Amino acid sequence: MDTAFQVKTTGFEGPLDLLLSLIEKRKLLINEISLSQIADDYLVYVRGIADMPLKDTAQFLLVAATLVLIKSRSLLPTLTLSREEESSIDDLERRLKLYERYRTLAHTLHERFGTEFLFARRDRGTRATVFAPDAETNPGALVLAIREVVGRFPKVEVLPKVIVKRIVSIEETMDRLRDRVAAALKMSFRDFVGGGEKEKKEVIIGFLALLELTKQGVIDVIQHATFEDISIEAQDVGVPQYR
């Protein structure tokens, strides 16, 4: 059986299966708000997968990048996204809804298979295959028909290669956030990353740095409601270090 297009890891078949399971666990509808709410769970789950094949990692990271965009916009409503980024968010929501339909249909077929007839059986008997061309069929007409069919085949389109360049270091951002919190004891995520189009990449990397420092137990974060700013505090509160 060919499994080239299946990505199975720790009980989930690809990033869409993981996303849908997280949404169903919280009994949410598939929309941008629900994707924002389960973004943290998705990122934590993906970071905990140690044995994922390198060739499959790109699929999970692509969805993770889109979820970070959604989460960033929920935290900073004034954040401006490009048309391509807006399209990636809409495409993720559309594919997730389509995947949900296919998975539901597959589950229904699995339950019915072997318990009831899906198609009526008919005894057609034995028939001999006979090729009986009419008078207008000749080698020349067959050649023209074959050429017409071949001419309708889709042409192979060669896409240009894209080189991904490293822009911002998450390690440097973690160090900067750690120093800021140590100096101020308490601050907001919005004050740390700022806002606007030119800081978009810093917002995304800053959010990933925030998650990592929270996981390491360096800082505590509090968000009182959806779309509100995140309050950041140092876990070990001491004397402020003014710089």
Per-residue pLDDT tens over the stretch 126-160: 777 776 777 777 777 777 888 888 778 777 777 77
For 219, residues 6+ apart whose C-beta sits below 8 A from its C-beta are 177, 178, 181, 210, 213, 232, 233, 234, 235
Longest CA pairwise span in the chain (Å):
100
Q: Which residues in the chain are classed under CATH 1.10.10.580? A: 170-234
Q: What pLDDT digit, counting tens, does each position of 11-61 carry?
A: 456 888 888 888 888 888 888 788 888 888 888 887 877 677 766 777 888
In three-state secondary structure terms, 164 is coil
Return left, alpha or beta for 175; rule: phi > 0 is left, psi -120 to 50 is alpha, else beta: alpha
Q: What is the pTM of this model?
A: 0.42
The structural architecture, per CATH, of the domain 170-234 is Orthogonal Bundle (1.10)
Pull the structure tokens for residue 17.
Answer: 């299966």
